[in-house]
Amino acid sequence: MTDRPPLSARVRAGDPRAIARAMSLIEDDHPGAPALIRELFPHTGRAYVMGVTGPPGAGKSTLVDKLVAELRKEGETVGVIAVDPTSPFTGGSILGDRLRMQAHIADPGVFIRSMATRGHLGGLAPTTSDLAVVLDAAGKSVVVVETVGVGQDEVDIVRTADVSIVVLVPGTGDDVQALKAGIMEIADIYVVNKADRDGADRMVTSIESNLALQAFGDGQWRPPIVRTEATTGKGVAELLATVRAFRAHTEAQRTERLAARQEYRLRDLLARRFLAHVEQHVLAPGEFEALVGRIARREVDPYTAAAGILDRALGPRGGTR
Ligand SMILES: Nc1nc2c(ncn2[C@@H]2O[C@H](COP(=O)(O)OP(=O)(O)OP(=O)(O)O)[C@@H](O)[C@H]2O)c(=O)[nH]1
Ligand SMILES: [Mg+2]
């Protein structure tokens, strides 16, 4: 064994192999992961996190690839996390992301990671924010998180990103679906990608008319709509300029936004940890499922069932440990 600096130090020095290793430890929920995060966390909070979400196949990865190139031109260093839903429909896209973002493989200023969601209910995998922590601590000035937006996912991304970019494409039912699914409330910036296709104008108009239904106060950010052609890079510089405008607009609220993000993370982590504790240490194997069955048969109500579990988890009334 040679004497090497600890992993956290190598991550902070920006060593790509250390970054990859750190991410694997976190993704695998390795016993060393919490200590690693503890060491890295004080060195974070500097990276600007851009969330890119939208329906499957909207061209998000292609767009991110072009965004990365543009950001590099401006001297930023970039980390990318592409969240791949492990669904039968898009199961193969991790390889696709690698291919689409291959242009940056030799660039030490860029680090790209694809990860699976592994059935977590939200779109962001449980450890996405921790992967962002690694890239942040490694000194990347911008972190881009790509995720397929389906329902709850958009809500998750807006809670972990500094700016939420919603990518839609002309001429698909998906767009209408996306608009209905509450995407309108979370977008800071809209992108109509594949603007080379028929129906781009119609798409822009339908977003506009949705925006017209919302009231925007004085000085409140009104989400702009940017047309892009990710394949050629057309509109990408404009998109980045729009991100910069949004960043300037929200700079004053940065502290609040960071606090809101940490509140969400802490609540989410506590909820997941508590549930795991209950499943592993409080309930007998199969008991949870049996309880669900009893509730379904109306033999017990969910409130009583939850109260019973809480009592067992925390001990009789008072529940301090
Ligand atoms: N015509 C046209 N095709 C595009 C454009 N942008 C992306 N595409 C194509 O659309 C397809 C999907 O692109 P991706 O970048 O993989 O889309 P994605 O949203 O990342 O897909 P998932 O991650 O699987 O949801 C690819 O074949 C791209 O070449 C565009 O502006 N115009
Ligand atoms: Mg993709």
Q: pLDDT tens digits, residue range 266-280? A: 888 888 889 888 988
Portion of the chain with pLDDT greater than 90, in percent = 51
Q: Write the residue with the smallest CA distance to atom 28 of ligand 1.
A: 59
Please report how many Cα atoms fall inside a 13 Å half-sphere around the Cα of residue 182, on the Cβ side: 9
Residue whose structure tokens are 């940890």 = 273
42-252 classified as CATH 3.40.50.300: yes
Comparing 82 with 94, the larger pLDDT belongs to 82
Q: Is residue 159 scored above 80 in pLDDT?
A: no
Tokens of 8: 């956290």
Q: What is the pLDDT of residue 178?
A: 57
Residue whose structure tokens are 């699976």 = 116
Q: Is 12 in the pocket of ligand 1 (CB under 6 A)?
A: no
Least confident of 159-163, 230-234, 275-279: 159-163
Cα distance between residue 9 and residue 250, in whole Å: 32
**Domain spans of the chain?**
42-252, 264-314
Average pLDDT score over the chain: 84
Q: What is the pLDDT of residue 268?
A: 81
Q: Is 83 in the pocket of ligand 1 (CB under 6 A)?
A: no
- Residue 316 burial (10 A CB sphere; 0-12, 13-18, 19+): exposed
| pLDDT band (50, 70, 90) for residue 180 | low
pLDDT tens for 46-64 read 999 999 988 888 899 999 9
| pLDDT band (50, 70, 90) for residue 229 | very high
Q: Is residue 224 scored above 70 in pLDDT?
A: yes
Q: Is residue 172 scored above 90 in pLDDT?
A: no
Q: Is residue 310 scored above 90 in pLDDT?
A: yes
- DSSP assignment of 28-49 equals TT-TTHHHHHHHHGGG-S-SEE
Q: What is the pLDDT of residue 122?
A: 43
Q: How far is the CA of 102 from the centre of ligand 2 (A)?
A: 13
Q: Is 60 in the pocket of ligand 1 (CB under 6 A)?
A: yes
Least confident of 20-29, 30-39, 168-177, 246-255: 168-177
Least confident of 22-36, 94-108, 221-235, 254-268: 94-108
Q: How far is the CA of 319 from the centre of ligand 1 (A)?
A: 53
Q: How far is the CA of 37 from the centre of ligand 2 (A)?
A: 27
| pLDDT band (50, 70, 90) for residue 151 | low
Given ligand 1 and candidates 102, 174, 231, which is best to mutate, with the most ligand atoms within 8 Å of its CB?
A: 231
Portion of the chain with pLDDT greater than 70, in percent = 80
- Beta bridge partner(s), residue 53: 147, 166
pLDDT tens for 110-126 read 999 887 665 544 444 55
| pLDDT band (50, 70, 90) for residue 319 | very low
Q: What is the pLDDT of residue 160?
A: 76
Q: Write the residue with the smallest CA distance to atom 8 of ligand 1.
A: 59
Q: Which H or E run contains 243? A: helix 236-250
Q: What is the pLDDT of residue 68?
A: 95
Helices 60-73, 236-250: crossing angle, 10 deg rounding: 70
Q: Write the residue with the smallest CA distance to atom 7 of ligand 1.
A: 59
CA distance readout (Å), 227 to 55, 147, 168, 231: 16, 19, 10, 12
pTM of the model: 0.85
- Residue 171: nearest ligand to its CA? 1
Q: What is the pLDDT of residue 54?
A: 84
Q: Which H or E run contains 143? A: strand 142-148
